Structure 1
Amino acid sequence: MRLHINNETSKLQAVILGIATSNGPIPTLDEAYDPKSKEYIKAGTYPSEEDMVEEMEAVAKVFEKYDVQVFRPKIIEDYNQIFARDIAFVIEDKFIKSNILPDREKEIDAIKHVIDQIDPVNIIRLPEEAHIEGGDVMPYGDYIFVGTYKGQDYPNFITARTNIQAVNALQDLFPKKKVVSFSLKKSNSIARENALHLDCCFQPVGKDQAIIYKEGFLIEEEYNWLVNFFGKDKIYEITRDEMYHMNSNIFSISEKVVISETNFKRLNAWLRNEGYTVEEVPYAEISKQEGLLRCSTLPLIRE
């Protein structure tokens, strides 16, 4: 398999889509990795496996419609394997394994049948001290945008997934690209105050547009850098509630086709007005785990 990813929006040819089958029991509060999951566990409305399987299969059908080759993880009994983006990501022809929460190492083993098709020279593991997850990493042509948290209290946040060592390691790995990092707001307890990954508050769409949530950024100058980079007229600003429901976490099949959640009424209307084809799917149950469409997909090849 010849990997090729240089951005978020070129025509998709091959992707890993997570899987919700045999997702396991509802986690305890101590087992939850993020504040949003904790909210729904406490409320007794944590998503059912049946609903999540149905939502993911709706995405699989959209990929089938657009002739995208779809790989799925091997099923691990009673284990959450929905968020494929967390465990690895592709830049250019490199498959980079994430240094993730130790409890989730099994998820990499479950996509071994895909990894085995890749030239071993192009399979990379960053140094152990470089913590990183794919939701924080966005290739954009000559740039790589990376969400991070640089505070001394980094170890105190289970929601801080990518550190400055990982940002530096990516720059070393891709010396011809400019790696630009953005400090994100983190909270272990308040979901509306937490940007778990960069794609929870920002994502490019089309050729030159982007969705963004200002308050997800810890440093206003870094938010302003993105607005200036794209241009204010090319930016779609989402609200606090829209960020909570993961409006920036849609997924591009091409520069003109996006998969979006059916409840994102304002966003979907804007996208259509801008000339995009919007393939709507139900994904509100999966979003209760603080992840959505981008989080559950791992693109391998784009044109």
Structure 2
Amino acid sequence: MTKMQEEKKPQTKCQSEFGQLTHVVVCPPAYMEIRKVINETQKHYLNHNIDQHAAMEQHTDFVKVLRDNGVDVMSVPAKEPFNEQVYTRDIGFCIGDTLFVSNMEDDIRKGETKILREWLKEQGLTYKDVTEGTIEGGDVVVDGQRVWIGLSKRTDEKAVQQIQQQLPDYEVIAVKIREDILHLDCVFNLVRDDLAILYPDAFNEEDLERFRKLYKTIEISEEEQFYMGTNILSIAPDKLLSLPSNKRVNEALRKEGVTVIEVNFSEIIKSGGSFRCCSLPLQRQ
């Protein structure tokens, strides 16, 4: 590691989903394709598979927008066996100053965490492994001392309990999501401490009312959920990335005083994730 790299090495710290993003980990979609259907979105696009060249161009544009907005973008190496590797959010997550490496549910993705661990060691960054149950970072949404964790096909109660044990100063809240939903961030995301985007049909009535009491909500339709209406990425307070196709959601955000940067990600979303899924924040101010 060079002297400059040492000086720039981030200290992991993420207390929210919307603070100024300073350091983030991505992975280029060099080998991205739908090989084995593991979610409903992939099933839809199976006969119109991912154009890898277009996906790489879109990801390059995504990284440029981040860098143009002052974000230090770091990349883990893409490896041919791992066609889902672009979704770095799933393989790890940061809560406060603790970086966790996920325990993946699907065998097709378990090798990605090994690559992440090797990369973190090269960067001199410490982390904790989740060893109980299974959990993926797409199911983890941080709001200060409150952490929402979605119970999905990928994340279970055992993992939630381990997170709570390791972070006793946090309130870790498990939220059951509809069985066909991939991750919590596909149906719920925070824009700021008083504003959330959510897909109401993904939750039971009790959890839905809990969200509505805590946040003003921009509620999206089934079609908007399919096209990743909640899967925005905040890069600063009241500034975020969103898909240009989600016109109604973007307009609702702008009415709330949010700067919306529209980036085409049409190839990336074919595998079931968008901007939040493609980013592993290490540090937010």
TM-score of the aligned structures, taking structure 1 as reference length:
0.86
1:116 to 117, 122, 135: 122
**Mapped partners of 2:120, 2:71: distance in 1:** 15
Cα-to-partner distance string for 1:198-230 (whole Å, 9 max, x where unaligned): 10110010242000111111x210111111111
1:211 to 170, 193, 197: 197
Aligned residue pair count: 273
What letter matches 2:86 in structure 1?
A: I
What letter matches 1:222 in structure 2?
A: D
Report if aligned partners of 1:89, 1:98 keep a CA contact under 8 Å in 2: yes
Report if aligned partners of 1:2, 1:118 keep a CA contact under 8 Å in 2: no
2:133 to 126, 130, 135: 130
Cα-to-partner distance string for 1:19-77 (whole Å, 9 max, x where unaligned): 11133x541xxx22112102211xx2122111111111111011111111101121212
**Mapped partners of 2:112, 2:135: distance in 1:** 15
**Mapped partners of 2:27, 2:210: distance in 1:** 33
**Paired residues for 1:183-222 under 5 Å:** 183-186=176-179, 194-217=180-203, 219-222=204-207
1:21 to 18, 22, 30: 30
Report if aligned partners of 1:247, 1:264 keep a CA contact under 8 Å in 2: yes
Report if aligned partners of 1:75, 1:110 keep a CA contact under 8 Å in 2: no
TM-score of the aligned structures, taking structure 2 as reference length:
0.92
Q: Which residue of 2 aligns with 1:279?
A: 261
2:86 to 73, 76, 82: 82
Q: Which residue of 1 aligns with 2:212?
A: 227
Q: How big is the shift at 1:184?
A: 0.7
SS at match of 2:123: coil
Deviant stretches of 4+, over 3 Å: none
What letter matches 1:250 in structure 2?
A: I
Gaps of 5+ in 2: 1-9
1:51 aligns with 2:44: no
What letter matches 2:276 in structure 1?
A: R
**Paired residues for 1:6-17 under 5 Å:** 6-17=15-26
**Mapped partners of 2:40, 2:251: distance in 1:** 29
1:95 aligns with 2:99: yes
Q: Which residue of 1 aligns with 2:144?
A: 141
**Mapped partners of 2:34, 2:91: distance in 1:** 21
**Mapped partners of 1:5, 1:73: distance in 2:** 20
Cα-to-partner distance string for 1:113-146 (whole Å, 9 max, x where unaligned): 33433443xx11122x421000000111110001
Cα-to-partner distance string for 1:89-125 (whole Å, 9 max, x where unaligned): 11111111111023222222333333433443xx111
Report if aligned partners of 1:137, 1:146 keep a CA contact under 8 Å in 2: yes
**Mapped partners of 1:86, 1:106: distance in 2:** 12
Task: Classify 1:56/1:47 alpha carbon distance in 2 versus 1 (closer, same or farther; 3 Å).
Answer: same
What letter matches 1:206 in structure 2?
A: R
1:172 aligns with 2:175: no
2:226 to 237, 244, 247: 244
Q: Which residue of 1 aligns with 2:44?
A: 39
SS at match of 2:19: coil
**Mapped partners of 1:255, 1:208: distance in 2:** 12
Task: Classify 1:169/1:26 alpha carbon distance in 2 versus 1 (closer, same or farther; 3 Å).
Answer: closer
Report if aligned partners of 1:71, 1:114 keep a CA contact under 8 Å in 2: no
Identical positions, percent? 32
**Mapped partners of 1:33, 1:255: distance in 2:** 34
Gaps of 5+ in 1: 150-159, 187-193
**Mapped partners of 1:257, 1:163: distance in 2:** 32
**Mapped partners of 2:31, 2:172: distance in 1:** 38
Report if aligned partners of 2:194, 2:214 keep a CA contact under 8 Å in 1: no
Q: Which residue of 2 aligns with 1:256?
A: 238
